[in-house]
Chain A
């Protein structure tokens, strides 16, 4: 995260401040400051963050995904961090869970790259359960032949049916050292560029010149993890909202409805997945039953969201970075209502004091300042 922030003047000032405090703090406080730095980073990255995102994850399942330099295999590592799998070694939550929680108005779709073609296996959805179910069906094939152009073709097709006000981005998880295209790759990458689709890549195989060029042209990132741990770290970078510099997004009024929750004893069918459910939400416009907001009402196309989800997404616009104060005075933390330690921070808008623990929690989870709210 720090690497791509280096040019950002706002970030440099911030870094300077943190460093001043770090030089004369105790170990415990330094740890806390480090955590604060990490949780604050996402608030510094974008001036005008995009809070509605459509992310298409394309997983390379060609022959090279079987290679076992990542244990047990490259594909297994990729899938281990993607799906909902609680209590994995490093993180309690997987990438997809964190993503959907951090971006409540966003959706994820999944596609797999096979021999010279690419196949969508799941359309955009915000349901963790669905994603988990479909990810478990992915397995590597014996044939080589990863084709980037074919993937982009599929992606463009998928994105053509999504709304224009959301940011579209693709996340490739590749294992091949080449892109063997029957189509013209340049043509398709230009099409993606003009459709303002951001292309990101996580490659297990090293830097491929042309693919780096494509990601850079669409303002995306090209990451190359050295080991499993770094993979889990790097994939975190896609959780926080990003600023797209060249996006041609259309500003639109979006029809949003806040649904009402019902718990019933009689089983009923949900409109979105046609599955039997016991607790559901009702669309305020057409009263159709849906299972897990946020989603687009399948009947009347109203965007059904819960109020706290909107609030959390909006946090990127309203919640600023808390200023560190080192005045040596005792203050009461507005979050946990306990006396703060030596170093504490303050919200610029409501001027309340917070201990570093609460600061980190607010910025990483709540995205809402308790004092302001």
Chain B
């Protein structure tokens, strides 16, 4: 269907357009028009991605001067493929309308997902270094085997890419194309990213300082950057900037250094020549440097010579080994120590990562994964911000705005969007930017297809809570077990239970095992428990889906911060009920978290309680959001902890969930009443139903 928002003609690939989708596009338009950043919240499963893509593509086509490129960031490879399929759908619809836009869309992922060289792919974890071994600059001279695909790419890359028709290239397309033409898909994709109008890839490609510097050079300011499922973006930023060191890593780093050292000291002419050449090059760079302009490749004198550099690194590692004994130190003090005791220059510290790469290149060492400890040390030194802890030395970054600062500065519009981003005003604070549009869009439901329930008491009136002080209370765990048993009896098909942490789940499970709750639950449903192992979990998910398909029904016990809570959808009968058992608060005893809270309070005036509540609620709502994937879908959202009923927590819920909370019937109730509500709800939802005509537009009604 086709419609016009102000002056932008949007082609929408479906026959219906929901009201909230229109609202979403209008908010998007405002953001793009004002060339600013935006935060948009829209409930899950309402066609967020497709409306976003349909609108931005239309904008790209009709206002080519305002924006030139769309960079779409997703969290996982699966999401990436899904997004590319949606792009394809939108493009197809545009073509059907007779528009010829010359758009190219491409997805970029790591070598592991794109490599087609049979010798390399099988290496699994070592794909990266195996690839480098076959594609590095010096390999061409024929010392070791070359990757055919890369060789072909080198020879005819420009022609090949120029000849590719405008289309959508998903990862599988790239692999297929690569197979036909014997071109390396990874490098093709990397090359294509520069020219394509639509680029889809992982968050880290923009946020991680190591990777983004490789890619982002070619980006133009007139781009729109979209972060999908951006509710956890601050954590991603922090994780990307955090480096951890411990004793084995340091020891390994010393070994690495020794290897490098022996290579340097070896008397072979070739290596000596290369080292000399490199040195000369560095000196030359120094001369060329224009006044006032910062040249990245200027290496301070202290580490310019390879031998000196090795010494320098040695000293750093020794310092770190000493510091592992320290309990806590702030980075500034650490830097001072470096300078005073080790005679280590700060400028040199900044450049030591570059220098290391250069040296490894010169020495033709391709097995980067073996040298990871060494480069970790280098990274650590580069990013000194804050550090603490004994044994494990963590350079923990607390400032999520640090990673985003660059992105906000270098792109015209950045859009953060997700199903649960409430309270919306906290994100601009912690990411330190000013959005032009911050909007939470409501869902319009024909029937009450979600039913949030807050359970605070058990049948006998004791409080249900996962608070730390109650953790040894057997009553609490027994009551939770009883509640789950009742739920498993009354929820058809899929039931997903989220618990605060692994340790808590284990404690409870042990108790339930003893009281025979688990045995009884498994009579009603197939019982599956998430484990830390990723492969095992995905197997269990498959099993879960199968059990739901055959009508047996399944219960999945998982962790509120685990893999299942993020990014796995339970559409339709796979998720009829989500129960969050216990309040998934961060461990406030953890030093890192304490420090982070302190930092946030200092810099952004966010109190510790506020932050912990905010984090727990967003995690809860993320879990709850798994259940509703579309207008036909329905499900129950149970929050079982007395803390959920507090006002401060309720106010942090997304509006579309809060609106559905029946204050008189479902707030602050006992588990027995909750079961009655659950039974009624499922009978109500089994009635035949049609989406009301006034909640969507068709071509005629617009």
Partners in one complex: yes
Contact of B424 with A by CB under 8 A: no
Contact of A302 with B by CB under 8 A: no
Whether B552 and A179, one on each chain, are in contact in the complex, defined by CB atoms closer than 8 angstroms, is yes
Q: How far is the CA of A203 from the CA of B490 in the complex (A)?
A: 12
Contact of B484 with A by CB under 8 A: no
Whether B551 and A207, one on each chain, are in contact in the complex, defined by CB atoms closer than 8 angstroms, is no
Contact of A129 with B by CB under 8 A: no
Contact of B591 with A by CB under 8 A: no
Nearest CB in chain B: distance from A261 CB, A: 46
- Give B527-559 as 1s and 0s: 1 = Cβ < 8 Å from A's Cβ atoms: 000000000000000000000111111000000
Residues of A within 8 A of B551 (CB): 148, 178-179, 181, 185, 208-211
Contact of B688 with A by CB under 8 A: yes
Q: How large is the interface on B (under 10, 10 to 19, 20 to 34, 35 or more residues)?
A: 20 to 34
Of the listed residues B551, B553, B573, the one surrounded by the most CB atoms of chain A closer than 10 A to its CB is B551
Nearest CB in chain A: distance from B576 CB, A: 8
Q: How far is the CA of A226 from the CA of B682 in the complex (A)?
A: 9
Contact of B684 with A by CB under 8 A: yes
Whether A206 and B682, one on each chain, are in contact in the complex, defined by CB atoms closer than 8 angstroms, is yes
Of the listed residues A3, A178, A207, A225, the one surrounded by the most CB atoms of chain B closer than 10 A to its CB is A178
Whether A178 and B492, one on each chain, are in contact in the complex, defined by CB atoms closer than 8 angstroms, is yes
Contact of A177 with B by CB under 8 A: yes
- Give A140-162 as 1s and 0s: 1 = Cβ < 8 Å from B's Cβ atoms: 00001100100000000000000
Q: How far is the CA of A207 from the CA of B491 in the complex (A)?
A: 10
Whether B572 and A209, one on each chain, are in contact in the complex, defined by CB atoms closer than 8 angstroms, is yes
Residues of A within 8 A of B676 (CB): 69
Residues of B within 8 A of A186 (CB): 550
Contact of B493 with A by CB under 8 A: yes
Whether B492 and A205, one on each chain, are in contact in the complex, defined by CB atoms closer than 8 angstroms, is yes
Within 8 A of B (CB), among A210-253: 210-211, 222, 224-226
The answer to whether A203 and B550 touch (CB under 8 A), given A64-B489, A177-B489, A208-B492, is: no
Nearest CB in chain A: distance from B363 CB, A: 61
Residues of B within 8 A of A209 (CB): 492-493, 548-549, 551, 572-573
Whether B492 and A207, one on each chain, are in contact in the complex, defined by CB atoms closer than 8 angstroms, is yes
Contact of A29 with B by CB under 8 A: no
Q: How far is the CA of A196 from the CA of B684 in the complex (A)?
A: 31
- Which residue of chain A has the shortest Cβ distance to B572 in the bound complex? A209
Residues of B within 8 A of A203 (CB): 686
Nearest CB in chain B: distance from A179 CB, A: 4
Contact of B687 with A by CB under 8 A: yes
Q: How far is the CA of A206 from the CA of B680 in the complex (A)?
A: 9
Nearest CB in chain B: distance from A33 CB, A: 24
The answer to whether A206 and B687 touch (CB under 8 A), given A145-B523, A177-B524, is: no
Q: How far is the CA of A226 from the CA of B489 in the complex (A)?
A: 18
Whether B682 and A185, one on each chain, are in contact in the complex, defined by CB atoms closer than 8 angstroms, is no
Whether A178 and B525, one on each chain, are in contact in the complex, defined by CB atoms closer than 8 angstroms, is yes
Q: How far is the CA of A222 from the CA of B683 in the complex (A)?
A: 12
Whether B550 and A185, one on each chain, are in contact in the complex, defined by CB atoms closer than 8 angstroms, is yes
Q: Which of B490, B524, B572, B688 contacts A144 (CB 8 A)?
A: B524
Contact of A357 with B by CB under 8 A: no
Whether A69 and B679, one on each chain, are in contact in the complex, defined by CB atoms closer than 8 angstroms, is yes
Of the listed residues B493, B685, B686, B687, the one surrounded by the most CB atoms of chain A closer than 10 A to its CB is B686
Whether B491 and A144, one on each chain, are in contact in the complex, defined by CB atoms closer than 8 angstroms, is no
Q: How far is the CA of A224 from the CA of B524 in the complex (A)?
A: 20
- Which residue of chain B has the shortest Cβ distance to A69 in the bound complex? B679
Contact of A180 with B by CB under 8 A: yes
Q: How far is the CA of A209 from the CA of B524 in the complex (A)?
A: 16
Whether B683 and A225, one on each chain, are in contact in the complex, defined by CB atoms closer than 8 angstroms, is yes
- Give A176-190 as 1s and 0s: 1 = Cβ < 8 Å from B's Cβ atoms: 011111000110000
Q: Which of A67, A179, A206, A210 contacts B686 (CB 8 A)?
A: A206
Whether B552 and A206, one on each chain, are in contact in the complex, defined by CB atoms closer than 8 angstroms, is no
Q: How large is the interface on A (under 10, 10 to 19, 20 to 34, 35 or more residues)?
A: 20 to 34
Nearest CB in chain A: distance from B606 CB, A: 43
- Which residue of chain B has the shortest Cβ distance to A209 in the bound complex? B573
Whether B489 and A210, one on each chain, are in contact in the complex, defined by CB atoms closer than 8 angstroms, is no
Q: How far is the CA of A210 from the CA of B685 in the complex (A)?
A: 16
Count CB-based A-B contacts (< 8 Å). 78
Residues of A within 8 A of B688 (CB): 3
Residues of A within 8 A of B525 (CB): 178
Q: How far is the CA of A186 from the CA of B524 in the complex (A)?
A: 20
Within 8 A of A (CB), among B490-521: 490-493
Q: How far is the CA of A186 from the CA of B550 in the complex (A)?
A: 8
Residues of B within 8 A of A208 (CB): 492-493, 551, 553, 573
Whether A180 and B552, one on each chain, are in contact in the complex, defined by CB atoms closer than 8 angstroms, is yes
Nearest CB in chain A: distance from B673 CB, A: 12
Q: How far is the CA of A64 from the CA of B679 in the complex (A)?
A: 12
Nearest CB in chain B: distance from A65 CB, A: 12
- Which residue of chain A has the shortest Cβ distance to B548 in the bound complex? A209
Q: How far is the CA of A67 from the CA of B492 in the complex (A)?
A: 15
The answer to whether A177 and B491 touch (CB under 8 A), given A211-B551, A224-B687, is: yes
Within 8 A of A (CB), among B676-697: 676, 679-680, 682-688
Whether B553 and A178, one on each chain, are in contact in the complex, defined by CB atoms closer than 8 angstroms, is yes
Q: How far is the CA of A177 from the CA of B548 in the complex (A)?
A: 11
Nearest CB in chain A: distance from B629 CB, A: 14
Q: How far is the CA of A209 from the CA of B247 in the complex (A)?
A: 54
- Which residue of chain B has the shortest Cβ distance to A206 in the bound complex? B682
Residues of B within 8 A of A185 (CB): 550-551
Nearest CB in chain A: distance from B524 CB, A: 6
Nearest CB in chain B: distance from A333 CB, A: 37
Nearest CB in chain B: distance from A215 CB, A: 12
- Which residue of chain A has the shortest Cβ distance to B488 in the bound complex? A177
Nearest CB in chain B: distance from A184 CB, A: 9
Whether A206 and B492, one on each chain, are in contact in the complex, defined by CB atoms closer than 8 angstroms, is yes
Whether A226 and B493, one on each chain, are in contact in the complex, defined by CB atoms closer than 8 angstroms, is no
- Which residue of chain A has the shortest Cβ distance to B525 in the bound complex? A178
Whether B552 and A207, one on each chain, are in contact in the complex, defined by CB atoms closer than 8 angstroms, is no
Q: How far is the CA of A261 from the CA of B535 in the complex (A)?
A: 76
Within 8 A of A (CB), among B227-273: none
Residues of A within 8 A of B523 (CB): 144-145, 180
The answer to whether A224 and B683 touch (CB under 8 A), given A144-B524, A178-B552, A180-B552, is: yes
Within 8 A of A (CB), among B631-687: 676, 679-680, 682-687
Residues of A within 8 A of B686 (CB): 203, 206-207, 222, 224
Whether A226 and B687, one on each chain, are in contact in the complex, defined by CB atoms closer than 8 angstroms, is yes
Whether A205 and B524, one on each chain, are in contact in the complex, defined by CB atoms closer than 8 angstroms, is no
Within 8 A of A (CB), among B470-501: 489-493
Nearest CB in chain A: distance from B486 CB, A: 10
- Give A267-304 as 1s and 0s: 1 = Cβ < 8 Å from B's Cβ atoms: 00000000000000000000000000000000000000
Whether B550 and A205, one on each chain, are in contact in the complex, defined by CB atoms closer than 8 angstroms, is no
Within 8 A of B (CB), among A104-140: none
- Give A186-199 as 1s and 0s: 1 = Cβ < 8 Å from B's Cβ atoms: 10000000000000
Q: How far is the CA of A203 from the CA of B686 in the complex (A)?
A: 9
Q: How far is the CA of A199 from the CA of B273 in the complex (A)?
A: 85
- Give A12-44 as 1s and 0s: 1 = Cβ < 8 Å from B's Cβ atoms: 000000000000000000000000000000000
- Which residue of chain A has the shortest Cβ distance to B676 in the bound complex? A69
Residues of B within 8 A of A177 (CB): 489-493, 524, 553
Nearest CB in chain A: distance from B574 CB, A: 9
Nearest CB in chain A: distance from B544 CB, A: 13
Residues of A within 8 A of B679 (CB): 67, 69, 205-206
Whether B548 and A226, one on each chain, are in contact in the complex, defined by CB atoms closer than 8 angstroms, is no
Interface pairs A-B: 5 shortest CB-CB:
A206-B682, A210-B551, A224-B686, A209-B573, A207-B686
Knowing that A67-B679, A206-B492, A208-B551 touch, tell me 8 more A-B residue pairs with CB under 8 angstroms: A144-B524, A180-B552, A181-B551, A186-B550, A208-B493, A208-B573, A224-B686, A224-B687
Measuring CB to CB, which residues of chain B are less than 8 angstroms from any residue of chain A? Answer: 489-493, 523-525, 548-553, 572-573, 676, 679-680, 682-688
Measuring CB to CB, which residues of chain A are less than 8 angstroms from any residue of chain B? Answer: 3, 64, 67, 69, 144-145, 148, 177-181, 185-186, 203-211, 222, 224-226
Can you list 17 residue pairs at the A/B interface with Cβ under 8 Å? A67-B679, A148-B551, A177-B489, A178-B553, A179-B552, A181-B552, A185-B551, A203-B686, A205-B682, A206-B679, A207-B492, A210-B551, A211-B551, A222-B686, A224-B683, A224-B686, A225-B683
